[in-house]
């Protein structure tokens, strides 16, 4: 009897972790929104809409994406370039860099505090945990991988004070 109770407790202890690991799964070209209050929720994935910020980030990875005759170079702190970040939400876009195997996760943090999260990516038939950076409050963050990823699973979103001892993602 004790073995069954112990086994049941072990199974129940695993259930929340498995549920958290599956909070949000994105395939390339998808976007979603996560809200942390009153409890953590995520919208269903939808087609990502490219922004001028995304195009600028792509141009830094693959300069041939931007036609230099079209205009002038801008910097990441250019107010016209920065995305309009919705307060009280985290907007995510998982994007493939056109013509390259590189993948980007753009994270727009609409909270006043920094946010951390966990990520597990699927590369080929393998699922692997990957490191993540903090995303400062009211800022975008950029995660970049120089290889193809067929899906990214995001979980354990939480607000933190300060920088949690890690570098921000820009």
pLDDT tens for each residue of 70-86:
444 445 566 667 788 99
Position of tokens 């999260």? 117
Query: Higher confidence at residue 2 or residue 161?
Result: 161
Residue 65 has pLDDT above 70, yes or no: no
For the segment 23-36, the average pLDDT, to the nearest whole number, is 95
Are 123 and 147 contacting, i.e. CB atoms less than 8 angstroms apart? yes
Query: Higher confidence at residue 145 or residue 18?
Result: 145
Q: What is the pLDDT of residue 6?
A: 36
Q: What is the pLDDT of residue 167?
A: 57
Q: Which residue from 104, 157, 103 is spatially nearest to 134, judged by alpha carbons?
A: 157
Are 133 and 162 contacting, i.e. CB atoms less than 8 angstroms apart? no
Summarize pLDDT for 101-123 with one digit per residue, the tens: 889 999 999 999 999 999 999 99
Long-range pairs of 79-87 with CB within 8 A, sequence gap ≥ 24: 80/52, 81/52, 81/53, 81/56, 82/53, 82/140, 83/51, 83/53, 83/108, 83/140, 85/109, 85/110, 85/138, 85/139, 85/140, 86/33, 86/110, 87/111
């Amino acid at each position: 009897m004790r073995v069954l109770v112990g086994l049941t407790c072990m199974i129940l202890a695993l259930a929340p972790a498995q549920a958290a690991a599956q909070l949000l799964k994105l395939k390339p070209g998808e976007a979603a929104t996560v809200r942390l209050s009153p409890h953590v929720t995520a919208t269903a994935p939808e087609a990502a809409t490219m922004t001028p910020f995304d195009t600028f980030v792509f141009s830094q990875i693959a300069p041939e994406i931007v036609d230099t005759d079209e205009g002038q170079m801008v910097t990441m702190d250019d107010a016209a370039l920065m995305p309009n970040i919705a307060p009280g939400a985290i907007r995510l876009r998982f994007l493939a860099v056109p013509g390259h195997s590189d993948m980007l996760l753009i994270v727009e943090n609409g909270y006043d505090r920094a946010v951390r999260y966990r990520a597990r990516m699927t590369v080929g038939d393998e699922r692997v945990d990957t490191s993540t950076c903090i995303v400062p409050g009211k800022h975008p963050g950029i995660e970049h991988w120089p290889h193809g990823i067929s899906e990214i699973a995001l979980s354990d979103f939480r607000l933190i004070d300060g920088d949690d001892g890690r570098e921000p993602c820009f």
